[in-house]
A and B are shown apart, each in its own frame.
Chain A
């Protein structure tokens, strides 16, 4: 290939990649834009005029902020329990050889491989057949969220743990650290980034879940359920305020983490 041809080929791929990124990011621009929308009517979804009112009064639409609070509560609790259970499981799977290990591996993989609608409807079938149809609500949502977060925690922590050089722990023991000290001073600090990543992933999965939640929520309304309801009735622009705020909060977290990691590796 000629030099010019190679330049074109190189930049063609990069250009195509950037176009695809644009496709991925366009809806986010729309969300940000629509958070400043001054809608002319409740029906239809178009940008009619610029206003800051939505940001001044994010809780104006009935039930919106309550649904955000409920989603945050559930996400925090689901993250807490799923992270603990998943971390225990990851340690067992990476660190121990035991009978039935491959079976347990399949068990953790299966929930990720089943469609949400199947997982949601089977949980509903369980709750209904055990006479809990009337009790659907906060606790059933929490149970469901812990369940689907669990597999992702196991996978994330497992990857981190498998990449951990066993010689580091051996070195700690060689240097007079007993089992507990080795865990506290070496194992845990080194696995912690994986656990943190798993927790963040759990939080966002839980906060964002709709299909499973919708089947098991009873009378409770989480934020995604609120959005769903609004989509049928007319979408208040404050929904986009919440979406935009979430986006920049998450972005700030990721950027801060990246900057910290870079600084630590440079000094």
Chain B
């Protein structure tokens, strides 16, 4: 059987059921093996590393002692980092919704022939390095930059106030970095909304705001849910923005994990990683369930 015929068996329903699923397993063999060896096993070994005795080191080796104490100690030591991570990620996600929704809406319904150009502009940041772009915020938010001057001039910022190295700078960076991940799924959802539905809404005596709330927003919910997840999850685990735009008091859980690994404290680092993953999985499950019942927002 040639490779091509493996990939093309179903358009005609002539292959027997068993033959068809055998083909599927042949196709899946390598990719699944890869995912298993380099995704599932690592997660298991992360969990087991988190239970090692922290007294060991890379050189001497670790003893597997089922040391649940690791979790207790990292939760005690780094509780503020964990809370801060989720607070920043939530703030960035909300900022992404506030900024991203009008943009996605404008592209979907108001851009006309500029639609494609605007879409390219949304993905344009991906054309260059994430780190270099984040570095340029150092300059844009710096003390000498005109933006800080302008804010000082209108007294939003005190004469000695800073923008850089503040929580504001970190959230700005996170928002900036993950905004396209909010805009693109939102746009995809909004684009599928038939503009006549909105006309029908206003024809049936709904004000523009009511039409938006009762027609457009519910129809764009799949995009909003996807965008929220695509923004919140990477933002919660990020440490680049906190490192480049923040200060020691704005450190997030990612910074701690990275530093612990660099310092060789593998069991604690692993315990924090597992905690982060567990919290995210729980939050995502709760969120998806709630969003599914339209109680979101």
Contact = CB atoms under 8 A, between A and B. Distances in A.
**Residue from B2, B20, B100, B131 having most chain A Cβ neighbours under 10 A:** B131
Interface in B186-239: 208, 229, 233-234, 236-239
Nearest to B273: A121
Contacts, number: 300
A118 interface: yes
B154 interface: no
Interface stretch (B72-80, B120-128, B155-163): B120-128
A77 interface: no
B10 interface: yes
Contact of B132 (A118, A166, A239, A255): A239
Contacts of B110: 10-11, 13-14, 17
Contacts of A9: 208
A109 B12 CA distance: 29
Contacts of B273: 117-118, 121-122
A85 interface: yes
B258 interface: yes
B45 A30 contact: no
Q: Say what secondary structure dominates the interface of chain A.
A: helix
A28 B280 CA distance: 32
Nearest to A140: B38
A125 B266 contact: yes
Given A86-B31, A96-B27, A117-B238, 12 more contacts: A17-B102, A17-B110, A24-B124, A92-B25, A99-B21, A111-B35, A118-B276, A121-B270, A121-B273, A130-B45, A179-B4, A211-B239
Interface of B: 2, 4-5, 7-12, 20-21, 23-25, 27-28, 30-32, 34-35, 38-43, 45-46, 48-49, 58, 99-100, 102-103, 105-107, 109-111, 116, 118, 120-140, 142, 144, 176, 179-180, 208, 229, 233-234, 236-240, 244, 253-254, 257-258, 261, 266, 269-270, 273, 276-277, 280, 284
10 contacts: A1-B208, A23-B99, A95-B24, A115-B236, A115-B276, A146-B34, A179-B5, A204-B126, A239-B135, A246-B129
